[in-house]
């Protein structure tokens, strides 16, 4: 037991070495004024800026706006992807009709949708939410399709033998069996959603974390930019941790598997 | 049997054809403003004229050169990093946490920093693209190294293979499937980020820039064309990588 | 008064198509099963016994000939035919009682008091107290018992079992054989058709043993087992029947030998 704790402690320390080195480097370089490069901002300044922005409420306000956009777009896109992907998985005919077009459109890198969407919906809230939804739709649909297709034939036969109706089969057999794949899709979609919101806010927004980064960049405020980056990373990470916890809870029957 | 196969494929064409027909009808009747939805004929005509002016080839070449450069830099760095962390537990403990922490940040968020540090230069864009290619490559290389089965490790120890021999004969071949998959993902990431770089860094050149300019001038037809080309190239790049993957894996005879 | 004969298979033939080549799987199967009988089907691997069972269950459908249940042709799965597979196939995300209750959630299920029926059947198989457990927490034997309960909740006329005890270790298997017989006798009137590899199991449980030969699958012989129940595995006539059946297979092997010469 002691060894385990010692191991964990030493792992933690090792992991911190390089970050600490980087921070120390930055401190030294800015103190000695070795370079005029914008990157080497004294860490103390970053900390001060962070506190200031938090107190000011500006960071939290913009973060909140981005968070709302992510959540809305995520929900819309994930639901659409889930339904579409599940349909493709369950019905061969549907997949044959829709598949080629689906895969063709999938080849388009998500960022390429921005100009098109802007021309069609403008640069308001709708645009951000729909853009996020579109980017999230594909990974979710793919995972949903794979998950549904992967449902063990054995279980499907049980459904047939006991004469279960379609709704029962989906809710009691197919969805639970596909759940692990669905969660993989959700996790992937979450990180893509954050990327999408930052992208959208960099080019077409007047609020939100991405916009904050854009404006600070224009004003040459590296410290603010770095604070925003950390904020986004942290929020994304926390959300995916939460998702992980939900996954563990939903799949709790797995823990009892012999 | 063959007839069934053809019918399956034919079904796939139904929806696209219907949509194309719908598009043509809407444009013909002008039910929607041509600014929103240019007619198919206009798109084709614009395409041909742009082709003639050489604009398409020029921009395409620009984007392709970026993707190749950024990709190569990214996968090299990613391979080295992944190998380092995969082979040495110490390296993993040193670099892993930082790598994972940085990975939490969406790549696009690095754009303002890169612009501040390197300015609106080609270098900034290349680093951006390389960064995108780096993540998947590192992860996959790392995974691949860790995949070496215990039995082989013990075998090598029994025969007292040198570290280098172990690496070359055992670790790398068993890591190959992961590494190749990493290459494929990195390439599509890189292509995505080339377009991103051209949109967000707002400098001249490339398909992304062509698309952005067209948006500014509300030239929906050009936007359509660029989207199709971008998608097509992405598809071709992906297919090339997949073919390469299949070829190499067949060679090695990995299960 | 229900008819004496419940299942009739007449001139059953089935082929598989693999890559263009046609392989006969079942040839000229004729079998009559009386109501309430316990039939075992035994045969070497590949003799088509599982395919035969799947045809009776109704999850495979293309064949030539007739499979009649109470005179009516079988066209698909039906609740009057209960199924126990070799793997218990309990849904791991449902509790035991929900799994057993699954049998009652079919489109054409009756409306009785579901909870009570589930409880009764859990008692029948000796799993009272395990209602809220998950399949992952049960041993192999217990899970299979739950599967049997699930198959019986609809009061089927026939219970079809595909090597139900095959996945269990030898000790559990012997125990479960006794349990299976007990359950059969308590569910008065259920006809049992069981596929097994285990000759002793077949003699212990069945009224008739159907011996199949392979390539293509046909019924070689039907041996009646007229011993009183519960049966004694060590008894002389038990052993003799076992040997008789085993000889059927040895004989088959010898025949092949003689052709080779």
- Spell out the alpha helix ranges (H) of chain A: 2-32, 43-56, 58-90, 92-106, 113-121, 125-149, 153-161, 166-168, 175-203, 209-218, 222-250
Shared domain for B204 and B243, answered yes or no, is: yes
Walk across the sheet containing C21-34 and list its strands.
C21-34, C5-18, C64-69, C72-73
Burial class (CB in 10 A: 0-12, 13-18, 19+), C196: buried
Chain A environment of B105 (Cβ under 8 Å) = 229-230, 232-233, 236
From B113, B139, B148, B144, select the one nearest B128 (Cα to Cα).
Answer: B113
pLDDT band at C202 (very low <50, low <70, confident <90, very high): very high
Question: Per the CB < 8 Å rule, is C106 touching A164?
Answer: yes
A209: number of CA atoms within 13 Å, CB side?
32
Q: Where would I find the H helices in chain C? A: 49-57, 96-102, 114-124, 140-152, 170-186, 199-205, 236-260
* 3-class DSSP state of B21: helix
Are B90 and B153 part of one and the same domain? yes
Across C141-145, average pLDDT = 90
Mutate to test the interface with C, among A151, A163, A249 (most CBs of C within 10 A): A163
Structural domain boundaries enclosing C62: 1-74+197-261
CA distance C96 to C135: 6
3-class SS of residue C33: strand
CB contact under 8 A, A172 and C57: no
pLDDT above 60 (res B247): yes
Averaged pLDDT for residues C233-244: 87
Confidence band of C193 (pLDDT split at 50, 70, 90): very high
CA dist., res. C247 & res. B217, Å (int) = 90
Most A CBs within 10 A among C102, C117, C155, C162, hence the mutation to make, goes to C102
User: Would you state the pLDDT for residue A44?
Assistant: 78
Residue A6, pLDDT score? 80
Residue B41 belongs to what H/E stretch?
helix B40-53
Burial of B234 (C-beta count, 10 Å sphere; 0-12/13-18/19+): buried
Tell me: do B93 and B191 sit in the same domain.
Answer: yes
Q: Is A84 on the interface with B (CB under 8 A)?
A: no
CB B244 within 8 A of CB B182: no
Instruction: Please say whether the beta carbons of B195 and B208 come within 8 A.
Output: yes
Residues listed for chain B? 255
A81 burial via Cβ count (<10 Å: 0-12, 13-18, 19+): buried
CA–CA distance, C70 with C53 (Å, rounded to integer): 17
Please tell me the distance in Å from A79's CA to the nearest CA on chain C: 23
The answer to whether residue C36 is domain-embedded is yes
For residues B79 and B21, membership in a common domain is answered with no
Tokens of C24: 């006969």
**CA B120 distance to own-chain centroid:** 22
> What kind of fold does domain A42-252 have according to CATH?
MetI-like fold (1.10.3720)
C-alpha to C-alpha distance for C33 and C10, rounded to whole angstroms: 12
C-alpha angle A201-A205-A209 in degrees, rounded to nearest 5: 45
Q: In this complex, do A254 and C136 lie within 8 Å of one another by their Cβ atoms?
A: yes
DSSP state of C227: P
* Cβ contact, residue pair C92, A257, below 8 Å: yes
Q: Does residue A243 belong to the interface with chain B, where contact is any CB pair within 8 Å?
A: no
DSSP assignment of A83-119: HHHHHHHH-HHHHHHHHHHHHHHHTS-GGGHHHHHHH
Lowest mean pLDDT among A236-240, A246-250, B152-156, C243-247: B152-156
The contacts of residue A220 (CB under 8 Å, 6+ apart) are: A38, B116
Confidence of residue C261 (pLDDT cuts 50, 70, 90): very low
Both tokens of residue C61?
């459908």
User: What pLDDT sits at residue C255?
Assistant: 43
Q: Give the closest residue to C83 by CA, choosing from C140, C173, C133, C149.
A: C149
Q: Which residues of A touch B8 (CB under 8 A)?
A: 96
Question: Which CATH number covers residue C27?
Answer: 3.40.50.300
Same domain, B84 and B136: yes
Contacts of A59 (CB under 8 A, 6+ apart): A50, A53, A212, A227, A228, A231
Nearest to C107 by CA among C58, C154, C62: C154
Under-50 pLDDT residues of chain A: 257-258
Output the CA angle B5-B9-B15, nearest 5 degrees. Answer: 150
Cα dihedral across residues B167, B169, B173, B174: positive or negative: negative
Angle at B107 between CA B101 and CA B113, to 5 degrees: 90
Is residue A236 within 8 A of residue B100, CB to CB? The reply is no
Spatial distance between the Cα atoms of A231 and A197, rounded to a whole number of angstroms? 14
What is the C-alpha separation between A117 and C152, in angstroms, rounded? 58
pLDDT on residue C257:
41
Burial of A125 (0-12, 13-18, 19+ CB in 10 A): middle
Q: Which two tokens stand for residue C195?
A: 């596929």
The C-alpha atoms of residue B181 and residue A160 are separated, in whole angstroms, by 38
Residues B62 and B24 in one domain: no
Q: Is residue C258 part of a domain?
A: yes
- Same domain (yes/no): B232, B115: yes
- Give, in degrees to the nearest 5, the angle at Cα B101 between B97 and B107: 140
C-beta of residue A45 within 8 angstroms of C-beta of residue A223: yes
What pLDDT is recorded for position B255? Answer: 45
Determine the pLDDT at residue C185: 85
What's the pTM? Answer: 0.83
**Closest CA of chain C from A161, distance in Å:** 5
Strands C38-42, C81-84: pairing is unpaired
Instruction: Pick A67 or B27 by higher pLDDT.
Output: A67
DSSP at C259: H
Specify if C189 maps to a domain.
Answer: no
CATH code where residue B239 lies: 1.10.3720.10
DSSP three-state, residue C79: coil
Confidence of residue C2 (pLDDT cuts 50, 70, 90): low
H/E stretch holding C67 reads strand C64-69
Look up the domain containing B6 and give its range. 1-32
> What integer best gives the mean pLDDT of chain B?
86
Residues B122 and B28 in one domain: no
| pLDDT tens per residue across span C163-184 | 998 888 888 888 889 888 888 8
Domain count, chain B: 2
pLDDT of residue B26: 86
CB neighbours (10 Å) of residue B7? 10
Closest-CA residue of chain C to A165 = C107
Query: Closest Cα to residue B132, out of B85, B211, B191, B86?
Result: B191
Chains that touch A (3 or more CB pairs under 8 A): B, C
Q: pLDDT tens, A171-216?
A: 999 999 999 899 999 999 999 999 999 999 988 888 888 898 888 8
Average of pLDDT values for B174-181?
Answer: 87
Per the CB < 8 A criterion, the answer to whether A191 and A240 are in contact is: yes
Q: Are residues B141 and B81 in the same domain?
A: yes
pLDDT score at A145: 93
Query: If you average pLDDT over residues B50-54, what whole number do you get?
Result: 86
* pLDDT score at A36: 63
Spatial contact of C212 and C48, defined as CB atoms under 8 Å apart: yes
Residue C66 confidence (pLDDT): 86
pLDDT at C260: 42
Segment C63-113, tens digit of pLDDT: 888 888 888 888 888 888 899 998 889 999 999 999 999 888 877 766 678
Backbone angles phi, psi at C40, to 5 degrees: -110, 145
Beta carbons of C59 and A257 less than 8 Å apart: no
Between positions 110 and 149 of C, the ones with CB within 8 A of A are 134, 136-137
Smallest CA–CA distance, residue A38 to chain B, in Å, is: 5
Residue matched to tokens 């599982």: C50
């Amino acid at each position: 037991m002691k060894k385990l704790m010692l191991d964990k402690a030493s792992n933690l320390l090792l992991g911190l070495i390089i970050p600490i080195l980087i921070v120390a480097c930055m401190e030294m370089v800015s103190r000695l004024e070795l370079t005029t490069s914008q990157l080497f901002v004294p860490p103390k300044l970053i900390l001060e800026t962070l506190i200031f922005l938090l107190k000011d409420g500006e960071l939290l306000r913009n973060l909140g706006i981005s968070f709302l956009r992510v959540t809305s777009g995520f929900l819309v896109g994930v639901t659409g992807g889930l339904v579409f992907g599940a349909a493709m998985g369950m019905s061969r005919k549907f997949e044959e009709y829709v598949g080629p077009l689906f895969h063709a459109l999938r080849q388009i890198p998500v960022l390429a949708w921005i100009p098109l969407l802007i021309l069609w919906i403008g640069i308001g809230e709708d645009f951000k939410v729909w853009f996020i939804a579109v980017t999230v739709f594909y990974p979710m649909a793919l995972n949903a399709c794979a998950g549904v297709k992967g449902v063990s034939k054995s279980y499907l036969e049980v459904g047939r033998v006991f004469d279960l109706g379609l709704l029962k089969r989906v809710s009691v057999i197919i969805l639970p069996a596909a759940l692990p794949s669905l969660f993989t899709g959700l996790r992937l979609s979450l990180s893509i959603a954050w990327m999408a919101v930052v992208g959208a806010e960099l080019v077409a927004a007047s609020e939100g974390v991405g916009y904050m980064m854009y404006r600070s960049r224009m004003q040459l405020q590296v410290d603010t930019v770095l604070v925003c980056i950390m904020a986004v990373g942290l929020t994304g990470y926390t959300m995916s941790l939460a998702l992980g916890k939900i996954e563990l809870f939903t799949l709790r029957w797995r823990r009892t598997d012999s | 049997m063959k007839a069934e196969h053809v019918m399956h494929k034919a079904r796939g064409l139904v929806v696209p054809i219907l949509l194309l027909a719908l598009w043509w009808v809407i444009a013909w009747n002008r039910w929607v403003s041509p600014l929103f939805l240019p007619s198919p004929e206009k798109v084709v005509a614009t395409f041909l004229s742009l082709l003639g002016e050489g604009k398409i080839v020029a921009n395409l070449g620009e984007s392709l050169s970026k993707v190749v450069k950024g990709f190569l830099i990214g996968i090299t760095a990613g391979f080295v990093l992944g190998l380092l962390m995969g082979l040495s537990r110490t390296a993993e403990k040193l670099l892993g946490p930082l790598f994972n922490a940085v990975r939490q940040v969406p790549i696009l968020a690095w754009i303002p920093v890169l612009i501040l540090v390197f300015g609106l230069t080609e270098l900034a864009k290349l680093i951006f693209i390389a960064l995108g290619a780096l993540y998947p490559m590192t992860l996959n290389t790392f995974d691949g190294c860790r995949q070496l089965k215990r039995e082989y490790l013990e075998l090598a120890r029994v025969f007292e293979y040198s570290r280098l021999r172990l690496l070359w004969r055992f670790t790398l071949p068993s890591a190959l499937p992961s590494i190749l998959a990493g290459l494929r993902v990195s390439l599509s990431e890189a292509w995505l980020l080339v377009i991103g770089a051209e949109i967000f860094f707002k400098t001249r050149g490339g398909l992304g820039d062509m698309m952005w300019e067209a948006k500014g001038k509300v030239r929906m037809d050009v936007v359509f064309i660029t989207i199709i080309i971008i998608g097509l190239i992405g598809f071709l790049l992906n297919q090339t990588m997949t073919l390469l993957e299949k070829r190499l894996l067949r060679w090695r005879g990995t299960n | 008064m229900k008819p004496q004969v419940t299942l009739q298979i007449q001139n059953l033939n089935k082929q598989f198509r693999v890559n263009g080549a046609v392989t006969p799987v079942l040839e000229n199967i004729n079998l009559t099963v009386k109501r309430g009988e316990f039939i075992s089907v035994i045969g070497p691997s590949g003799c088509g016994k599982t395919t035969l069972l799947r045809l009776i269950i109704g999850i495979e459908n293309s064949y030539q000939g007739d499979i009649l249940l109470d005179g009516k042709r079988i066209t698909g799965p039906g609740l009057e035919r209960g199924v126990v597979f070799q793997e218990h196939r309990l849904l791991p995300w449902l509790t035991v009682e929900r799994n057993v209750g699954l049998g009652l959630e079919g489109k054409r299920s009756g409306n009785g008091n579901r909870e009570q029926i589930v409880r009764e059947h859990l008692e029948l198989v000796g799993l009272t107290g395990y209602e809220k457990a998950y399949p992952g927490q049960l041993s192999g034997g217990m899970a299979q018992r739950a599967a049997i309960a699930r198959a019986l909740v609809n009061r089927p006329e026939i219970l079809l079992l595909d090597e139900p005890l095959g996945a269990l270790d030898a000790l559990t298997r012997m125990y479960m054989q006794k349990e299976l017989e007990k359950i059969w006798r308590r569910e008065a009137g259920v006809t049992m058709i069981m596929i097994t590899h285990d000759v002793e199991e077949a003699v212990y449980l069945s009224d008739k043993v159907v011996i199949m030969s392979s390539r293509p699958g046909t019924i070689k012989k039907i041996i009646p087992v007229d011993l009183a129940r519960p049966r004694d595995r060590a008894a002389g006539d038990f052993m003799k029947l076992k040997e008789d059946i085993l000889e059927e297979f040895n004989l088959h092997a010898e025949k092949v030998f003689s052709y080779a010469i």
